[in-house]
Structure 1
Amino acid sequence: MRDERVIDYIAPVRIVASEHCGNTQILLKESPGQASTSARPECILEPGGWIVLDFGREYYGGVELVFGAFEEPVRKLLLTFGESVSETFSHPNHGHTVQETELSFPAWSVIAFGKLAFRFVKLENRETYPIGIQGIRASFLHREFPVEASFRCSDPLLNEIWDASAWSLKLCMQDYMWDGAKRDQLVWMGDLLPELFACATLFGHQEIAEKSLDYLRDETPLPRMMNGCGTYSFWWIIGQGFWYRRFGSLEYLRKQHDYLKGLVTLLSGMISENGELQLKGGYQLLDWATGIGVDDGPAIRAGSHAILRLAFLTAADLCRVLEDEETALICDGSAEKLLRKKLPLSHSSAANAFQVLAGFRDAKDVYDQCFAGNLPRGLSTFLGCFVLDACAKAGHWKEALEYMRQYWGGMLSVGATSFWEHFDLNWLNDAGRIDELVPEGKHDIHGEYGEGCFKSYRNSFCHGWGSMPAEWLTRQVCGIDFVDSRTIRFQPDLCGLEWVEASIPVSGGMIRVHLTADKQELSVPDGFSVIQ
């Protein structure tokens, strides 16, 4: 087997802070990655000395250090990775990967360590003698395919959001499409759904997406639910529907037929005659903004109920493509039966949005009752773009775009270069930046917040489900919505922007759009149909 990824070497761009260190600028020079018998200048860490280095943006991989000559057989150095400066001081141990280790190294050696996402590295000398370091560089491990799409508009912040979305996804596309590049480094179907949307827009058709969908299918024999979560099995159906609509591979879809048929048959048996979902064999989950407590149960059930209806509607379409009318009728009946049970609105923006998107409630009513005056608080990096879809469905495209600026832009405002597992706008109150030592009187936005599995420094600062703004901007602002793999609906809305230009990779070439207040230019490859 051969790794499909490549390694690029990255030099640190600045020294964040240091104590009891000399000649520190040596570490900012490009490291040759090779020890030498010749004497070289060294950064010297005195006993108790430390230095924190910034590589400029988040990367996935590790670091490589070069050492010169010394008398002892082995020396030791404490190495700590961090997605924030403060995390490098926390002695992190979050599972899934090693974030801090005591490196042992001999003279004239090159030592490589790490398989995780990080931006900052702290080196600390806990020995009783000075330690010299001749060079350090990050080894950036990634898939080589470039971002084929583009998006630029008159608002620089939206351009930054689009770029950070693309970077977030790229770092999570490793052996499979992972949830997070630091943790969990696992294939979670909930995380995969927004990643599929973003991947199609940014990179076009990529086998890693199908590989990840198939991995979850093969890891989850029925009647088990994906990742132990019923809602995630619903997402698998919706993900298959999106992927087929976008790329139209009947050969790939046929490979899903048996599992799809078995899954929808299983789920249809969990709906009572009054339309209530009685899930067996898995828990239900929406997003971290909704919560996971007992009091959040009604919202979780309402959102999952709506998502299941979307899954049945999707499955019905797929089964008809597969000429399986019998299963399609089961899906039709189940989708209709779910409409009999109208669950209440709640504190959850995501649950309320899916009730709109699944046809349970009027978009304008929900916007007026739930979203106006509350958003962007209550958004999540996972399902936030679906909430913005519900806003757009109510005719509030311009407001939705402003919510995106405030929410995703909020992470960028404190130094993020990729989007997080979760973010709450309230965290910005008196918060320090993630790329600086936290000043006295400021809050550590990484260390002080979060709960459950993303508490404190466990909160992943590069999470694939945060990448969906790239797709949303292309679809809702540029107006490029795929009806099928060779047909798009073109209904752009500048949402107050002066101009937008974008391109999207498709089979046979690129779709390109240039929009101004008085002109709309669209070009598509031969064989594409456009509905306006």
Structure 2
Amino acid sequence: MKRHLLFTVFMTIFISCITAQHKRFDDFFDSSHFKPVKLSSATLSPQRIVWVSTTDKNTISAPDNLLKPFDGQLATNTTDFCTFFKQEDTDTAAVILDFGREIYGNIRIFAPIRSDKKTVRIRVRLGESVSETMSETGGTTADSSATNDHSLRDYILEIPWLGSIETGQSGFRFVRIDLLDKGVKLPLKTVQAICRYRDIPYLGSFHCNDERLNRIWETGAYTVHLNMQEYLWDGIKRDRLVWLGDMHPEVMTITSVFGNNEVITKSLDFARDNTPLPGWMNDMCAYSLWWLIIHRDLYLYSGNYEYLKKQHTYISGLLRQIISHIHNGKEALPTGRFLDWPTARNPNVIHSGLQSLSLISMRAGEQLAIWLEDKKLQKECSDCALNLEKNIPELHDNKQAAALSVLAGYGNVEETALAVIARDGAERFATFYGYYMLEALAAGNCYEQALKIISDYWGAMLDLGATTFWEDLDYSDALKAARIDEVIPAGKYDIHAKGGDHCYKGFRHSFCHGWASGPTAWMSRYVLGAIPIEPGCKTVRISPHLGNLDWVEGTVPTPLGIIKISHKKSSSGKITSRVEAPEGIRVILKK
């Protein structure tokens, strides 16, 4: 009897141990406080040493060891490390490492065994450019314009004895390590980067005979991918927030590359829930208008009616709120009047832009009301749009105002596109509203001009060493600037330190900003030529515009599967197309 009892107790313990091995991580937490995040991580090794503070081997010895492969586990007999040593306070023992491309994440520093067990202080500076890692924080000069806004990228850290430490959480490509304590030798095995990202496939693709355009398409896709964190951010170093106007180009890129991802709806709902009416999203009236336009475009790509239906109450309330600010066919939207930063000091341009944007949002609202079978709301939006159409805004010779005017259908679309937007090419283009300038060029049949501007303007960032697209670029600055992946040569223009304006002066300027990804969506929509015209991509119009290209091929994601597309131009200019669409998708091929 006693032996049977002991056996029963033993088996109970054994089975409970087996069961425990199959627990999930979240089983140990109260579900009301545990929210799993669908993010993955990857470890990256530095690709090169950009700069070493001295050639004195007593100060920095064997820096190339920092580049050697490392399995991530220190040992008491770890060898092949780099040693930092400062004999005097005035000595500088520092290196700058390059991880090869911009990432979002942390750094992990590995320190082998040393004679003294005391912690050693170092200074870490993360940078989107080499010059940012060599900058100071919080000053008034160009070289001291860096900040720790939104994420710490310049800080002092204590390194343990025989251990590793992980720190950071910012957007960066480069890292500078400075030893601060004198009289101690600090061995470092390596500095790794831990990249955080959504592990999702690139379903969309784009390839043509112009490799520069291919790189631009891929760079735009990668820029947005890095910003697809817990929510859809605009920047990974600064502005790690949900900005609704900025989201629209990002959403267009995501739907062209990744398909409908939950980060879109999660971010749209976040903005809605944090902006009870009569509020305006991000305290900017235009950004609530963009929220409506995003919903219209998202539904065309996703066809998720259940999700759209959940927005009905807020959509109708917001549309009626906008209509209440339209008087005699003119917008009179309240404070928080903003288009983009380059136009922020020009109230006349802002009014023209908001007039056009109000008309665009009313047409989006009318379409949303049709899908939601809300005839009363449909008529209200239609009547408001008719009134707005009667008041054609002035263009003020401004590309932002002209782009929105074209997209609203005001005036002679082709004439405006050619005379204002295409004039002077990439001059006076902007990274955010550049997408709408490209859309307006397409509406005005200026496809060759658009492709040339994409190559010149976004390609200029690649020419300067960019691996992601920036918050802002003054094209004239790009033509005189040094590369961002090198120490700035004497006499050359440092575009990161000296460029930028408004809230992004100097090193506060973000070099990975999702709103700059517009060419990726644009080339999928107008060069591959695939545009959904029925919700859920059930009907897709394919109308290629190759400009000077010889051929293009690629894929477009839809809820029903991948559309494969190829276009080839003959010597006579005739385009031969091949389209493979999943069952359930009607393709209208228009050349």
TM-score band w.r.t. shorter chain: over 0.9
Are 2:66 and 1:12 aligned? no
Q: What is the RMSD of the two structures over their aligned residues, measured on CA atoms?
A: 1.2
Are 2:584 and 1:527 aligned? yes
Structure 1: give runs of 5+ residues left out of the alignment: none
In the alignment, which residue of structure 1 is the partner of 2:378? 328
Letter in 1 for 2:79: R
Letter in 2 for 1:121: V
**What does the per-residue CA deviation read over 1:33-71, in whole Å, with 9 as the maximum and x for residues that have no partner?**
233222422211222211000000000001001012231
User: Which runs of structure 2 are paired with 1:339-378 in the superposition (5 Å)?
Assistant: 339-378=389-428
Letter in 2 for 1:53: L
In the alignment, which residue of structure 1 is the partner of 2:285? 230
- Contact 1:60–1:142 under 8 Å retained in 2: yes
Residue 447 of structure 1 aligns to a residue in which SS? helix
- State the distance in 1 between where 2:37 and 2:364 align: 35
TM-score (norm 1): 0.97
- State the distance in 2 between where 1:206 and 1:372 align: 34
TM-aligned CA deviation for residue 424 of structure 1: 1.0
User: Which runs of structure 2 are paired with 1:113-124 in the superposition (5 Å)?
Assistant: 113-124=167-178
Letter in 1 for 2:149: G
Are 2:540 and 1:488 aligned? yes
TM-aligned CA deviation for residue 162 of structure 1: 0.6
Are 2:554 and 1:498 aligned? no
Are 2:200 and 1:140 aligned? no
Residue 513 of structure 1 aligns to a residue in which SS? strand
In the alignment, which residue of structure 1 is the partner of 2:5? none
- Contact 1:33–1:135 under 8 Å retained in 2: no
Residue 331 of structure 2 aligns to a residue in which SS? coil
Residue 544 of structure 2 aligns to a residue in which SS? coil
Structure 2: give runs of 5+ residues left out of the alignment: 1-34, 55-59, 87-91, 137-145, 571-575
In the alignment, which residue of structure 1 is the partner of 2:341? 288
Residue 445 of structure 2 aligns to a residue in which SS? coil
Residue 446 of structure 1 aligns to a residue in which SS? helix
User: Which runs of structure 2 are paired with 1:212-227 in the superposition (5 Å)?
Assistant: 212-227=267-282
In the alignment, which residue of structure 2 is the partner of 1:53? 97
In the alignment, which residue of structure 1 is the partner of 2:331? 277
Residue 496 of structure 1 aligns to a residue in which SS? coil
- Contact 1:87–1:446 under 8 Å retained in 2: yes
TM-aligned CA deviation for residue 367 of structure 1: 2.8
Are 2:357 and 1:307 aligned? yes
Are 2:118 and 1:73 aligned? yes
- Contact 1:33–1:65 under 8 Å retained in 2: no
- State the distance in 1 between where 2:566 and 2:527 align: 11
- State the distance in 1 between where 2:315 and 2:76 align: 62
- State the distance in 2 between where 1:253 and 1:372 align: 37
**What does the per-residue CA deviation read over 1:125-184, in whole Å, with 9 as the maximum and x for residues that have no partner?**
122133210121100011111211111100000000011001101100001000101111
- State the distance in 2 between where 1:327 and 1:465 align: 31
Residue 515 of structure 1 aligns to a residue in which SS? strand
Residue 473 of structure 2 aligns to a residue in which SS? coil
TM-aligned CA deviation for residue 2 of structure 1: 2.1
User: Which runs of structure 2 are paired with 1:143-292 in the superposition (5 Å)?
Assistant: 143-273=198-328, 275-280=329-334, 282-289=335-342, 291-292=343-344
- Contact 1:306–1:354 under 8 Å retained in 2: yes
In the alignment, which residue of structure 1 is the partner of 2:160? 106
Misfit runs of 4+, over 6 Å: none
Residue 129 of structure 2 aligns to a residue in which SS? coil
Residue 482 of structure 2 aligns to a residue in which SS? coil
- Contact 2:111–2:186 under 8 Å retained in 1: no
**What does the per-residue CA deviation read over 1:340-365, in whole Å, with 9 as the maximum and x for residues that have no partner?**
22221124212111111101121222
In the alignment, which residue of structure 1 is the partner of 2:128? 83
Letter in 1 for 2:122: L
- State the distance in 2 between where 1:51 and 1:267 align: 55
- State the distance in 1 between where 2:569 and 2:390 align: 44
* TM-aligned CA distance change 1:318 to 1:372, over 3 Å: closer
Letter in 2 for 1:34: Q
In the alignment, which residue of structure 2 is the partner of 1:416? 466
- Contact 2:564–2:580 under 8 Å retained in 1: yes
- Contact 2:233–2:240 under 8 Å retained in 1: yes
TM-aligned CA deviation for residue 187 of structure 1: 0.4
- State the distance in 2 between where 1:297 and 1:285 align: 9
- Contact 1:31–1:136 under 8 Å retained in 2: no
- Contact 2:402–2:417 under 8 Å retained in 1: no
TM-aligned CA deviation for residue 385 of structure 1: 2.0
Residue 481 of structure 1 aligns to a residue in which SS? strand
TM-aligned CA deviation for residue 190 of structure 1: 1.2
- Contact 1:85–1:434 under 8 Å retained in 2: yes
- State the distance in 1 between where 2:67 and 2:355 align: 54
- Contact 1:480–1:491 under 8 Å retained in 2: yes
**What does the per-residue CA deviation read over 1:277-307, in whole Å, with 9 as the maximum and x for residues that have no partner?**
1112x41211233x211xx111111111101
- State the distance in 2 between where 1:57 and 1:449 align: 21
In the alignment, which residue of structure 1 is the partner of 2:28? none
- State the distance in 2 between where 1:448 and 1:493 align: 38
In the alignment, which residue of structure 1 is the partner of 2:71? 32
Letter in 2 for 1:521: R
Letter in 2 for 1:120: F
- Contact 2:471–2:511 under 8 Å retained in 1: yes
Identity %: 34
- State the distance in 2 between where 1:271 and 1:316 align: 16
- Contact 1:8–1:140 under 8 Å retained in 2: yes
- State the distance in 2 between where 1:146 and 1:31 align: 28
- Contact 1:181–1:463 under 8 Å retained in 2: yes
2:83 to 36, 40, 44: 44
- State the distance in 2 between where 1:72 and 1:152 align: 55
TM-aligned CA deviation for residue 276 of structure 1: 1.4
In the alignment, which residue of structure 2 is the partner of 1:2? 36
Letter in 2 for 1:339: E
- State the distance in 2 between where 1:76 and 1:401 align: 51
Residue 251 of structure 2 aligns to a residue in which SS? helix
- State the distance in 1 between where 2:71 and 2:106 align: 16
Aligned length in residues: 527
- State the distance in 1 between where 2:449 and 2:95 align: 44
- State the distance in 1 between where 2:134 and 2:200 align: 35
Larger radius of gyration between Structure 1 and Structure 2 = 2
In the alignment, which residue of structure 2 is the partner of 1:513? 565
TM-score (norm 2): 0.88
TM-aligned CA deviation for residue 468 of structure 1: 1.9
Are 2:423 and 1:381 aligned? no
**What does the per-residue CA deviation read over 1:428-478, in whole Å, with 9 as the maximum and x for residues that have no partner?**
232110000000110101010111111111110000111121110011111
Letter in 2 for 1:319: A
Which has the larger displacement, 487-496 or 51-60?
487-496
